Structures are given as structure tokens and as C-alpha cells.
DNA sequence: GGACTCCATAATGTATACCTTTCTACTGCC
DNA sequence: GGCAGTAGAAAGGTATACATTATGGAGTCC
């Protein structure tokens, strides 16, 4: 029984009038730099809304960790959360933990259904590769196609409980993922390891071994975190500061 | 480096004027029955606040899964989420997953620090037993002491990322945990297995084996879910309906 | 008798007004 | 010239007013 697609709602688009989506978009894409102080009136003005919906969006993003309390005051002033390699590792690791644990469930599926999912994942990965192969891949498309691959797994295997957690984590994840592809390119690092790991996931899903599926997914996310960390280091060295 | 205690903030108390805490309290303790339709004006009246803070609390509790959209309409009406054994299993399972994964970190601690945590946990468990041993344990105290045991683990071992997720999950968990002790009593089931599993956790922490610690914690939560499910079944049979 | 439609009611989403608190900047004093 | 105290500005928390939309019921038509 495939769960409903659940409408990705990731910051590909930012519908005007949806304060949360717009603000998420601004933070994920870096239009609001880490450390930037945000005030409700200023943001309301910028988004063309009143304080009420903007305030709600800010509170939600604070729960999701994209905004953090700033300044020593009692009343919380808020700022865009800093980017932090250790936090990125924790986010990737935890994503792998949740996604992997849910995906163990494929071992109880009939082989046909596993085959169908494996095929869909292979197709999703192909679309990802097609974008990544380009000389200068469109960051938004790259992000979207990679996200689609994993989202497919989540949609089909996660419980509503872990899906909710993954969605919440997804905001932070998206923030790091947004820079992931471009940083790899900048650092001259290849996409090939990702292809291989995605293929391992596909094969494991088809085989139906719970341990293999979980291992493959967790490895993918753990390694992705290390690749990102490495890319950041190299880019730092190449550019000078970060 | 022990993380800051982070102030439990669980529904032991419900400070007047804090809409979120009050509403959480009402839902967790069952003062608002599952399925109850909630409207902002009515709740605002009941809590003695205006719609604004009440609305924010409702939105947060909806993200945490304690309130759910109700009615087919476009504009979401909201109701208290139903209690569901399968959801409970998922909540307990996921809690064990996150808490267990974080606690693996004790394997890299110096032995002294592990000893200190083990001692603190043993003490926390003792306080829990002291309450549970009573003829008719105070549900609030029972809840609080059990929560304190696990919270100690989380505070000392979880990353900020998983801590945030556990906190969000904690609302749903608290809702089932609130009935857990009383239901065991009602069903005539013993607390002894919990004592044993807590002791296993303490021993594993002291020993410092990452696998043992994770296994012990996950087993505790998985078994707790089964005990709760069993207690519900028996109570159903005893009382007639649920 | 049942189903459909229309209207009144009430709830949500948004905007704005008010109050309290905090930060800042200016001024005066040491 | 520097520091401290104070006054003004501005931001967050709350309350309320306004606009829009769904809901539920009553009445009518088939």
C-alpha cells in the first residue's frame, strides 16, 4: 500500500503569499546569509505580508533549526542559523538513520513490489545523473533530482511518524544539500561515488535484504556527509575563506 | 562535554499564560478526548487568552502530530489526533532508534564519565521504582520519573539535531506514556520487565560497548511498546471498549 | 420522502492596533 | 575624553478587527 506522495514542498518553488515557503527558500538558497538578524516587521515588508503569517513562519523555522535565538536578551531575537560541518554530519547521519530504518520494511514486500520500487529508483537516479553529467549542472535541478530519489524511498517505506521527522529534518538537510552539488564541482570532486551508492540501494531493494537496504542507505548518507565536508575543506583552501 | 539539561518542558506542569504548555497538557492527559474538534475561539476562551497565542500553539501541536486536520474542507479544521496502537509502536520504535543511536557515543567516553552516568541512571531508575512500587502509584510522578531516566540519556548523549527530533516526538510519546503505567496496573501486568531493561542499559553504559548500549535501549523501547499494546488489549477485554 | 440549493452562521487567514520590554543613541557629568 | 544614565525608537507579545470561506440548516422542488 504505497503512501500518498505527500507533495514534496521543498524549496524548489516559493509560492508568493506562503510565508513559510518563501522564508525557507530565502534561507536554504543563502539569500539570507547565516547570522543575519531577522525582524518581523522587516521580513513582513520584504515578503509583502503582515507580521502574523511571517511570525508563524519564523516560529516554525526556529523549531526546524534554520533560525536560532540571537542576542543575549530575554526576549528572543532571531538570526539565520550558522552553517556548521558537525551539524551537517549529524543531519545527514540522522537522515540515514531514519530513512534506513524505514526502508528495512521492503523485506516484507512481495518481490513484484520491490521490483517496481527498484525500477522507479533506477529511473530517478538516471534523471539525477543526466543533470549531474552536464558541464555546469543547474543547481536547482540537481537538488531536485537528488531529493526525488530519496523522497521516493521515504514515501514508500517510512511510517507517518518517521516521515514527519524526516520532513522537519529536511529543512536543515536542504540547506546543506543546496550547496552540495556546486561545492563538489568547485572542489573538483566527482559525482561517481553517489551513483555507485544509489545503485547499491537499488540492488538491495530488489534483493529484499533488510540489512542490506539499511546498510546501503546509511552508507550513502554517511558518505555524502563526508564528501560534503571534504568539498568544503577543498573549497576553503581554493577560495581562501568560508 | 555534557550538553545543557535543556529544561524538560514536558507536561508535568502547565504554566498559565503559556498556550502551548496548557494545550499540550490537556491533550496528553486526555482532558481533550481523541477526535474532539477544536476551534480557536473556543480554546482561546477556555485558556483565557486571545486567538493569536492559541493559534500558534495549535499549529505547533499539529506539526507534532497531536492535532490533525479534520473534515474534508480546504481550510483545515483541527481535531485531537486519535490514539492508535500502530502509531504508538512507531513512536516508541523511533524513540529507541534515535536515543539508541546517540547513546552509542558513550563508547568513546573515558570510563570515569561512563561510571558517573551509569550511577546517575541507576539512581533515576531507583526513584522510578520507588514510585512504581506503591500500591496505587501517582500517574504524574510515575510518568515524570520514567521520563527522567531516559531524558538523562538524551541530555548527555544526543546531538542537538536528534535532541530536537526527540523533543518533537516527545509530545506524541508523552501521550501514550501517560496511560502506560495506569494501564499496566489495570491489566494486572508487572513493572518488573522495565526494571530489568533499565538495569541492562545501566550495565551497558558502564561497560562502554556501543552495540550493547544501543541494543539495550532499543530493546527497552520496543518491548515497552509491546507491553503497552498488551495492556491495551487486556484492558479492552476487562472493560469492554476502548 | 429525499435531495438539492441557498442563506445565515461561524471559523479560519490576515491585517492592524496596543502595550511592554529592550536596545540604542544622545547628553550630561565626572 | 570616557562613562553612565536617561529618553526615544523599535521590536516582540497579545488582543482585536476585518475579509474570506466553509459549514450546517432550513426551505423548496422533484
| Per-residue confidence in pLDDT tens, chain B, 242 aa | 333 333 345 556 667 669 999 999 999 999 999 999 999 999 999 999 999 999 999 999 999 999 999 876 667 899 999 999 999 999 999 999 999 999 999 999 999 999 999 999 999 999 999 999 988 899 999 999 999 999 999 999 999 999 999 999 999 999 999 999 999 998 999 999 999 999 999 999 999 999 999 999 999 999 999 999 999 998 888 775 54
Joined grid coordinates for residue B171: 509530545
Give the pLDDT of residue A4.
Answer: 37
Alpha-carbon distance of A88 to A90, in angstroms, equals: 5
Select from B97, B101, B164 the Cβ nearest to the Cβ of A65.
Answer: B164
Looking at CA atoms only, how far is residue A240 from chain B in angstroms? 29
Cell of A146: 537528488
What is the pLDDT at residue B73? Answer: 63
Identify the sign of the CA torsion A165, B61, B161, A65.
positive
Cα dihedral B5/B8/B14/B18 (nearest 10): 60
- The reported pLDDT for the residue numbered A16 is 67
Specify the pLDDT at position A14: 66
Burial string for A50-62 (b: 16+ CB within 10 Å, else e) reads eeebbbbbbbbbe
List pLDDT tens digits, range B9-62.
555 666 766 999 999 999 999 999 999 999 999 999 999 999 999 999 999 999
Q: Nearest chain A residue to B52 by CA: give it.
A: A52
- Which chain A residues contact residue B172 at CB under 8 A? 161
Residues 6+ apart with CB under 8 A from A49: A17, A19
Nearest chain B CA: its distance from A127 CA (Å)? 31
Protein CA B81 to sugar C1' C19 (Å):
36
**Residue of chain B whose Cα is closest to the Cα of A91:** B161
User: Measured between beta carbons, which residues in chain A are less than 8 angstroms from residue B90?
Assistant: 159-162
Residues of B with CB below 8 A from A61's CB?
A: none
Contact check, Cβ <8 Å, A90/B52 = no
Determine the pLDDT at residue B235: 84
* Structure-block grid coordinates of residue B90: 512507531
CB B61 within 8 A of CB B20: yes
CA–C1' B74–C5 (A): 21
**Burial of B140 by CB count in 10 Å (0-12 exposed, 13-18 middle, 19+ buried)?**
middle
Residue closest to D10 C1′ by Cα: A41
Contact check, Cβ <8 Å, A165/B164: no
Give, in order, the Cα–Cα distances in Å from A151 to each of A100, A144, A145, A158. Answer: 12, 10, 10, 10
Extended strands (E) in chain A: 37-38, 67-70, 77-80
- Of A52, A87, A168, Cβ closest to residue B165: A168
Tell me which chain B residues have a C-beta less than 8 angstroms from the C-beta of A85: none
Looking at beta carbons, which residues of chain B come within 8 Å of A94?
98, 101, 159, 161-162, 165
B160, A91: Cβ pair inside 8 Å?
A: no
Contact state of B159 with A94 under an 8 Å Cβ cutoff:
yes
Q: Find and give the residue nearest to D11, measured CA to C1'.
A: A39
Which parts of chain A sit beneath pLDDT 50?
1-8, 242
Q: What is the pLDDT of residue B242?
A: 44
- Cβ of residue B62 closer than 8 Å to a chain A Cβ: no
Closest A-chain CA to B60: A60
Picking from A147, A214, A86, the residue whose alpha carbon sits closest to that of residue B1 is A86
B77 is near strand C: CB distance < 7 Å: yes
pTM for the structure as a whole: 0.92
Q: How many CB pairs under 8 A join A and B?
A: 64
Amino acid at each position: 500500500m504505497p503512501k500518498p506522495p505527500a507533495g514534496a514542498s521543498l524549496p524548489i518553488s516559493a509560492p508568493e503569499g506562503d510565508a513559510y515557503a518563501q522564508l525557507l527558500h530565502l534561507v536554504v538558497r543563502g539569500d539570507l546569509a547565516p547570522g543575519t538578524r531577522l525582524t518581523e516587521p522587516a521580513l513582513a515588508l520584504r515578503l509583502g505580508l503582515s507580521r502574523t503569517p511571517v511570525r508563524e513562519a519564523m516560529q516554525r523555522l526556529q523549531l526546524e533549526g534554520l533560525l536560532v535565538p540571537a542576542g543575549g536578551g530575554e526576549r528572543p531575537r532571531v538570526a539565520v542559523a550558522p552553517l556548521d560541518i558537525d551539524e551537517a554530519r549529524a543531519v545527514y547521519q540522522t537522515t540515514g538513520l531514519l530513512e534506513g530504518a524505514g526502508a528495512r520494511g521492503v523485506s516484507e514486500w512481495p518481490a513484484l513490489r520491490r521490483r517496481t520500487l527498484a525500477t522507479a529508483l533506477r529511473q530517478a537516479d538516471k534523471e539525477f545523473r543526466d543533470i549531474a553529467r552536464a558541464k555546469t549542472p543547474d543547481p536547482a535541478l540537481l537538488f531536485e533530482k537528488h531529493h526525488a530519489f530519496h523522497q521516493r524511498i521515504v514515501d514508500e517505506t517510512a511510517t507517518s511518524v518517521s516521515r514527519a521527522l524526516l520532513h522537519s529534518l529536511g529543512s536543515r538537510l536542504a540547506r546543506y544539500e543546496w550547496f552540495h552539488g556546486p561545492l563538489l564541482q568547485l572542489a573538483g570532486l566527482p559525482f561517481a561515488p553517489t551513483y555507485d551508492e544509489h545503485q547499491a540501494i537499488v540492488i538491495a531493494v530488489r534483493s529484499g535484504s533488510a540489512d542490506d537496504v539499511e546498510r546501503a542507505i546509511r552508507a550513502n548518507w554517511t558518505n555524502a556527509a563526508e564528501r560534503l565536508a571534504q568539498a568544503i575543506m577543498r573549497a576553503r583552501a581554493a577560495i581562501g575563506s568560508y
